[in-house]
Structure 1
Amino acid sequence: MTLTDRLIAPNATAGEVAAGFGAAFLGAALAFGLALHADLSWLGSAVVTFVAFDMFGGAVVNATESAKRWYHRPGRTALHHLGFVAIHLQPFLLALVVPGFSWLAAATIYGLALAGALLVTTAPRELRRPIAFGATALALTIAASMLTIPHVVAWFAPLLLIKLLLAHLLPENASH
C-alpha cells in the first residue's frame, strides 16, 4: 500500500489526491500562521500545524468517493467506524500544548464526537444521515457556546466533527 493509499484511499483519483492534499496544506499553513500570531511555543505551533493538516485534509479526503468505498467496503462494521473516531485523540494533544485549551474542553469535544458517532452507527440506515447532521449541529452549538476555546484553534471542533460525523461515517450511497 502506498503512502497515498494510506492517506487518501486506495485507487484515489488524481483530483481526489489534489483536493485532499491541497486542503491539508492550505489548512496547515493557515493554522501555522494563526499559531505564530498567537505566540505559541515551537512545539505548540508544530502540533497545531500537524493537527490542522489532518483535520483539513481529512474533512476533504473522507468525503471522497474513493475513501467512501474504502471505509465502507464489505466487512466493515460499526465497531470499525467507532474505532476510527476513538483514535482521534487530537483534542488531548491540543490541551497539552495550547494555553487556554482546557482538559475539560478536550474531553467534551472528544465525548461529543464519540457520542455522535455512537448515535449515527446505531441508527437505522435511513436515519443515519439526518442523525449525523443533527448530532453535528448539536455538538457544534455546545462547542461554540459552552466551551472556551482559544482563537488559535477555534477551527478545530467544527473540522473534527465534519471529518468524523459527516465525512467518515456516512457512506456515499445512503443505501449502504
Structure 2
Amino acid sequence: MEAAKKQNRAAEENKNKGADEVKLLNDELSKLKTQIVKLESEHEAKEKEIKSAEANSLALKNQSEGFLLEYDRLLAENQDLRDQLRAIDESASHSSGKKNMVLSQNRTLLCIPSLACTCKDGRLSEVRTTVAAKGLMAWPLAECLVPNGDRMDDSGE
C-alpha cells in the first residue's frame, strides 16, 4: 500500500509539474502571439511608409524630368534670342545709321542701329509693329532713348 501511495504521490507531483509546465507554455504562447500581432502591425506600417516614399520618389523624378525639359526649352529659346540679337547687330553694321530699339537686360529699350524703323518721332507703337514684323519678339516697352539722347515712356512722350 505504501508503494501505491508513493506511486499516487509521484503521479500527483508529475501531474502538478505538467500543469505548471502547460501554464508556463500557455503564458509564453500568449506573449508570442501578442508579439506576432505587434510585429505584423509594424510591418504593415513600414510597407505603407515604403510605398509612400516610392510614390514620392516617382513624383520627384517626374518633376525633375519636367524641369529638365523646361530648362532645355529655355536654353533653346535663349540661344534663339541671342541669334536674333546677333542678326540685328550684324544688320546694324550694314545699315545706313538709322536708330532703332532693342531690349536690354534691364528691360530698357535702347536706340541702336538695327532694324528699319525709327523712334525719332516718339511713336513706340511703330517700333513694336516693326519689331513684330521682323519676326522678333515684341517686348513690353518701358522706356526708350531717342536719337538725341532724350528718354520717352510708353505714352510716346
Q: Same fold (TM over 0.5)?
A: no
Larger strand proportion, structure 1 or 2?
2
Whose helix fraction is larger, Structure 1's or Structure 2's?
A: 1
TM-score for the superposition, normalised by structure 1: 0.27
Quick check: which has more Rg, 1 or 2?
2
